[in-house]
Structure 1
Amino acid sequence: MAGTRTANTSRSERTKAADERMIDRELEDLPAELRWREWMLRVEAVIFASAEPVTRETLVRVVGRACSIDLLIDDLREELRTRPYDIVAVAGGWQHRTRAAYGPVIRASAAPTRSGAASLSEHEAAVLMAIAYLQPVTRGELSKVFGKDVSRDTIGSLRDAGFLSSGPRSPTPGAPYTYVTTKQFLSVFGLETLRDLPDLERLEDAGLLSRQALAQDTTTEPDGDVLED
């Protein structure tokens, strides 16, 4: 079995290398305007076909050395300005996203979408939001924030959805594991980095999240969380 996987991996790498050799990245035989246009089409095709945000390192494989990815993306976004979708920077790469104005239309259509956020319950979404702002945070600390127990099932559902992973152990008694958000979280919620999260003070003013709950009691009881693979 291991030998088969190794052979398949080797074959895939050879195919990838052959494809890269077949692609004329520089396009020196084309006029500058047509060359730029072809690079735009290539980049858009890669982003459109990808199931996850496409990094700069990936895009440079299909364009010339003199090509500016940032300027190329700017031109693509300008062309899409009147379309219901855009190319946005998320999770360290770029991805096609439907414009927010068309969200109600898509929800009304009941069409299946690629977003995992739609399947979250209100409580799961609230817990995920708290983790995003307070990470790394333990389950016990989350329970203080919500004033009630945050179950292992809730954490497990968010982990299964790919939104959470285990962080470092907390320095509190019992050294419980903490939880942090993942690149999948950034991608699904359209964030390039955690710095793009809405302002925490506004959420506190709206009563949706409280940092004081963590500061009221610096002694955390062991919550018995264990790291799951």
Structure 2
Amino acid sequence: MPLDDEAFFEALDLQRKIEAMLFASAEPIGTQELCERLGAKRKNVHAALDVLVDHYAKRGVVLRKVADRWAFRTADDLKHVLHREAVEQKRLSRAALETLAIIAFHQPVTRAEIEEIRGVSTSKGTLDVLMETGWVRMRGRRRTPGRPVTYGTTVEFLDHFALESIKDLPGLEELKGSGLLDSAVPANFQVPVPDDTSDLTEDEDPLDEDDLFTADDQGGEVSPQQDNGSL
């Protein structure tokens, strides 16, 4: 059913506002945040986003969904044009790449579980590096003796690898071909079909946001940092 003139201009106005907000934002914006900031209904925001996705599909930038957030990104076939503008990044070590892949596919996963899959111990520094990149985060505590911390990926991880959700992760052979996994990965490494891990699972408790935590060197657990009174 065609929109009347008033409804048409309201829809167009909503599209322009969303377009402006996404262009101005340094980070992806969630659908719910768009609704709240614009005072618009979710169905109308979704309709406006669909129009913008189609409008930018063949342009130099495209509108991409990352989890339930939206952002403009360079079209995949034009990334080489901006190659010289990119900041050169230090390559992750083999241990970090394997750990990242295990976390991505097996999340929520504890440090002990990572070590069991890899067949070797995982240093605290490896997990620290992955968290510093913004690709890995501490999710919660496992409801098992010792209450070890569980790890999972972040929205930044999905954004970097152009994934809408972790369900879009590639298979084992694709990982090897892209260099994300070494060809000599342990034989017991499996690539399960990941579930949406935006929420804690039944065997996890949330971290206490009022405390600062640090990963234990041995068990991969977390404990509050002690205040030594220094500035």
Same fold, TM exceeding 0.5?
yes
CA 1:71–1:213 in 2, change beyond 3 Å: closer, same or farther? closer
Normalising by structure 2, we get a TM-score of 0.65
Corresponding position of 2:131: 159
Structure 1 residues 20-56: Cα deviation after superposition (integer angstroms, max 9, x where no partner)? xxxxxxxxxx744333222111001111122222112
CA 1:38–1:112 in 2, change beyond 3 Å: closer, same or farther? farther
Are 1:121 and 2:92 counterparts? yes
Corresponding position of 1:62: 38
Structure 2: distance between partners of 1:142 and 1:150: 7
What is the identity percentage for the equivalent residue pairs of Structure 1 and Structure 2? 30
Query: 2:141 pairs with 157, 161, 168, which one?
Result: 168
Corresponding position of 1:84: 60
Higher mean alpha-carbon deviation, 173-182 vs 197-206, is at 197-206
CA 1:119–1:52 in 2, change beyond 3 Å: closer, same or farther? farther
Instruction: Give unmatched runs, 5+ long, in structure 2.
Output: 191-216, 225-231
Structure 1 residues 119-145: Cα deviation after superposition (integer angstroms, max 9, x where no partner)? 551532332121110122232332343
Normalising by structure 1, we get a TM-score of 0.65
User: Is residue 109–residue 151 contact of structure 2 (8 Å, CA) maintained in 1?
Assistant: yes
Question: What's the Cα RMSD here?
Answer: 3.4
User: Is residue 139–residue 225 contact of structure 1 (8 Å, CA) maintained in 2?
Assistant: yes
Higher alpha-carbon Rg: 1
Structure 1: distance between partners of 2:93 and 2:155: 21
Query: By percentage of residues, which structure has more helix?
Result: 1
Across the two proteins, how many residue pairs are aligned to each other? 187
User: Is residue 84–residue 98 contact of structure 1 (8 Å, CA) maintained in 2?
Assistant: yes
Instruction: Give unmatched runs, 5+ long, in structure 1.
Output: 1-29, 215-221
- Report the residue type matching 2:113 in the other structure: E
Task: Return the offset for 1:94.
Answer: 0.9
Corresponding position of 1:225: 220
Query: By percentage of residues, which structure has more strand?
Result: 2
Are 1:101 and 2:65 counterparts? no
User: Is residue 53–residue 92 contact of structure 1 (8 Å, CA) maintained in 2?
Assistant: no
User: Is residue 176–residue 223 contact of structure 1 (8 Å, CA) maintained in 2?
Assistant: no
Structure 1: distance between partners of 2:80 and 2:85: 10
CA 1:211–1:182 in 2, change beyond 3 Å: closer, same or farther? farther
Structure 1 residues 53-82: Cα deviation after superposition (integer angstroms, max 9, x where no partner)? 211222223265496222211211222123
CA 1:153–1:84 in 2, change beyond 3 Å: closer, same or farther? same
